[in-house]
Amino acid sequence: MWNLAERLPIDAFRLEQCLPGTKRRIHLLVATMPDGQPLTIPLLVVRGHGAGPVLLASAAVHGDEYEGVIAIQDLFDRLDSEILNGTFIGIPVLNGPAFAAATREGIWDHQNLARVFPGNPEGSLTQRLAYSFQRYLLPLADLYVDLHAGGNAYAIKALAGYMLRDDPIGERQRAAAIAFGLEFVWGTAPLPGRTLSAAANLNIPAIYVELRGEGRARSADVASAGRGLGHLMAFLGMMPGAYPTEAPLLIEDRSAGSGHLQLDHPSPAAGIFIPAVELWQLVEQGQLLGSVRHPDGTLQATITAARSGRILFIRTLPRVFAGDTVAFVLEEPPA
């Protein structure tokens, strides 16, 4: 049984308010927006009949990434609290003000929620969201997964990633990322301001997932995210089931900034970007990645690969501004 959505201040929420064997939809009040509407975090809680760990999953940290939103909603609908050990907490839309605008950044302050952690309870709406999430929700998790995607402007090869660290939490993160079950698993150097850096500060194992994007939520990508969340629950022992223990491609890159996609191959000009390569294609250093045309059709720039590798991330929204990344080329380790 589940109740219709109820609303309470986020600092008044306790997991114990959700009884074993129940599902609940709760809106947690965080702040008031400039238009007077409440800023809430929607919570979907499935409290298993049996005791066990807590899997926390969020989506729409960026407001134009949709696959994880639907995967969390679908999982909430189909999970059976009677056979679940432990608790699934899903946050289908963590960043409501960005979701409302269908943009990466919040509609009121144009801040990127994945850059402001640990946030500030007195700060902008985006900073308050970050603060409230890391103060009241993240500490509930035994494992946290942050579901991202390529968004409106990019396509990305689906991957599960984690921040590298040399301790048992680092090993747990690697195992969880593999267990999610995507072809590519990527460990990268820690970056500040993220949900994952907030989790690292709290010593909570955490991974992130990237799904294809292009401003869409293809059913195959939503289903793949749902399968991954199921694998994580099996990994945690919350339900029976198998999960992968090896990844077809696992890359760990300790170089500074290794996981940062938005700086690679910036467009030198504004205009219309026309890609010359496909996602996950192998390219050689110097190979044409794409060109930029003025709206009158004249060529403004060509962009070539700075190194050999695979196209992990490619711009799919044709309109581009100078400085926008057009592609990320992933160097594969020598065989």
Which positions touch Zn ion (CB under 5 A)? 62, 65, 148
Q: Measured from the CB of residue 148, what is the shortest distance to Zn ion in angstroms?
A: 3
Strand partners, 58: 91, 146
> What stretch of H or E contains 149?
strand 143-149
Q: Measured from the CB of residue 310, what is the shortest distance to Zn ion in angstroms?
A: 20
Find all residues with CB under 8 Å of 298, minimum gap 6, and list them: none
Task: Report yes or no: 83 and 52 within 8 Å, Cβ to Cβ.
Answer: no
Q: Which is nearer to Zn ion, 67 or 238 (CB)?
A: 67
How far apart are alpha carbons 51 and 19 in whole angstroms?
Answer: 11
Q: Measured from the CB of residue 151, what is the shortest distance to Zn ion in angstroms?
A: 6
Q: Helix H segments across 136-277?
A: 168-180, 195-201, 219-235
How far apart are alpha carbons 73 and 65 in whole angstroms?
Answer: 14
Strands 327-330 and 309-315: antiparallel
Residue nearest to Zn ion (CB): 148
Q: What is the dihedral of CA 95, 99, 103, 106, to 10 degrees?
A: -40
Q: At 261, phi and psi to the nearest 5? A: -85, -25
Q: Which is nearer to Zn ion, 148 or 310 (CB)?
A: 148
Q: Measured from the CB of residue 315, what is the shortest distance to Zn ion in angstroms?
A: 15
Q: Measured from the CB of residue 184, what is the shortest distance to Zn ion in angstroms?
A: 16
Q: Measured from the CB of residue 147, what is the shortest distance to Zn ion in angstroms?
A: 9
Q: Which is nearer to Zn ion, 46 or 61 (CB)?
A: 61
Q: Which is nearer to Zn ion, 24 or 62 (CB)?
A: 62
Find all residues with CB under 8 Å of 315, minimum gap 6, and list them: 153, 154, 273, 275, 290, 324, 325, 326, 327
Q: At 144, phi and psi to the nearest 5? A: -120, 135
* Interhelix angle 67-78/219-235, nearest 10 degrees: 60
Q: Which is nearer to Zn ion, 39 or 98 (CB)?
A: 98
Q: Measured from the CB of residue 67, what is the shortest distance to Zn ion in angstroms?
A: 11
Q: Which is nearer to Zn ion, 76 or 154 (CB)?
A: 154
Q: Which is nearer to Zn ion, 148 or 174 (CB)?
A: 148
DSSP-derived letter for residue 136 is: I
Strand partners, 87: 47, 54
Q: Measured from the CB of residue 313, what is the shortest distance to Zn ion in angstroms?
A: 11
Q: Which is nearer to Zn ion, 86 or 90 (CB)?
A: 90
